[in-house]
Structure 1
């Protein structure tokens, strides 16, 4: 029987008159990677942000691990914090604290939010920096790093919180092309290690390689879902084929 780490049912979200999500439902099996692809403005990032309540959905139910929120009803702040603690978020633009060192950026959450001993947090941060290939950068500041290095620090910071699922919002879109590979390599390693991942990405070949499930979103709905071979290799919907052709075969 499949165990699901994330379950979303009937997610609705609007910004003013703009309905961004229209009754979205999907599941993410434990230990798998799900890639969300689709055109700009299709609701990908908003959907991802609802999984961490960075954007609060207007309606629908989301369960992440053992915490569930029904967004149609008021939710106590303590329960929202419990919900948010189940996932780590890797932002498109790094979002590192500029005045803190690499090590301080990674230990901030475990020490200040989770109240874990500083010595333990530092030891685990050093291990994470080794994992992402940045052990020699621990005392540097974000401005001293390349974009790819900053994003790898962002991944280490998310992992430091020991989340049940890691959410990636287009983690390579702000990078120079030659830096993309180093970030994707770290994410591939996490997938191989059995982390549960949800990745909004425009890197179609990467999505095909790393994910167990691909969701194609368009105009606020999931238009097509399935394995990478099904959705990317042999899409059923004309809209999916049109999108992939433009991405994979640019003029």
Structure 2
């Protein structure tokens, strides 16, 4: 985006700080989750500083999406704690109350793999729904911010369109705008390009890279290793419900310490 672009909604707190000395925005300790008798998360420990982009990589079924859903309160963990900048500290044994979950959700926003837009609402209505209905913010103020965000991603002319009238890439950009309109401190992305045709992936990845450059704190589940290398501050390899290895992209992707990480990367880079 050029400097002449319209004003953007306020940047997330902590953007001005360098990543090296930024305090933790997200702290996760001992997170556990089972579905029935199947243990999905064994014991997840994570610390994500303000302005950091953490990419979660790993095989299908390893628990990556479940981690994200627990961070947003969409799935309730069975044990452990999640703390978001001291504003929301949730302990999951016993389960947190509705007020605690609402506080957690107010600090984060999720961008889904399959867009999850309301099919009966226009693009603009999808974007302003959360800030107006859930956050009780002024409709005129929210609408002005929403229009500025839609202009930023080149979708102003689609504001009165319905999701079925948009391409997959356009729907995903609306999903990102919808998340930004909530003014979250933490952005969560679940495989944001996996449902897109290959020619539509680039626009979405460029937008996420822009947000990273601006200092948004993000946790991204992705299978795009080159994208993770370019945009992430840190990468965590998840397998079997545990974080096998966690480090800087240049270290983890080029010279992983763990044999399981090496096997996964080799299979992904050389599938045949």
Place the TM-score, normalised by the shorter chain, in its bin: over 0.9
1:18 corresponds to: 38
Q: Does 1:157 align with 2:173?
A: no
2:68 corresponds to: 48
User: In the TM superposition, what is the alpha-carbon distance from 1:74 to its structure 2 partner?
Assistant: 3.3
Cα distance in 2 for partners of 1:127, 1:63 equals 31
The alignment's C-alpha RMSD in Å is: 0.9
Cα distance in 1 for partners of 2:197, 2:22 equals 39
Cα distance in 2 for partners of 1:136, 1:230 equals 43
The 5-angstrom pairing of residues 196-207 of structure 1 reads: 196-207=217-228
Q: Partner of 1:119: helix, strand, or coil?
A: helix
1:8 corresponds to: 28
The answer for unaligned runs of 5 or more in structure 2 is: 1-20
1:168 corresponds to: 189
Map Cα deviations across residues 48-69 of structure 1 (whole Å, 9 max, x no partner).
Answer: 1110110100000001122110
Match of 2:143 among 111, 122, 147: 122
Q: Partner of 2:253: helix, strand, or coil?
A: helix
Map Cα deviations across residues 185-224 of structure 1 (whole Å, 9 max, x no partner).
Answer: 1100000000000000000110010000100000000000
The 5-angstrom pairing of residues 175-214 of structure 1 reads: 175-214=196-235
Q: Partner of 1:129: helix, strand, or coil?
A: helix
Q: Which runs of 4+ in 1 moved over 4 A?
A: none
- Name whichever of 230-239 and 55-64 sits farther off: 230-239
TM-score (norm 2): 0.91
Cα distance in 2 for partners of 1:153, 1:74 equals 33
2:80 corresponds to: 60
Cα distance in 2 for partners of 1:178, 1:242 equals 29
User: In the TM superposition, what is the alpha-carbon distance from 1:134 to its structure 2 partner?
Assistant: 1.2
1:106 corresponds to: 127
1:91 corresponds to: 112
Cα distance in 2 for partners of 1:57, 1:29 equals 22
Residues 110 and 187, structure 2, Cα contact 8 Å, conserved in 1: yes
Q: How many residues align?
A: 251
2:15 corresponds to: none
Residues 76 and 95, structure 2, Cα contact 8 Å, conserved in 1: no
1:140 corresponds to: 161
TM-score (norm 1): 0.98
User: In the TM superposition, what is the alpha-carbon distance from 1:42 to its structure 2 partner?
Assistant: 0.4
Cα distance in 2 for partners of 1:135, 1:192 equals 23
Cα distance in 2 for partners of 1:143, 1:18 equals 36
Cα distance in 2 for partners of 1:196, 1:18 equals 31
2:252 corresponds to: 231
Cα distance in 2 for partners of 1:121, 1:2 equals 29
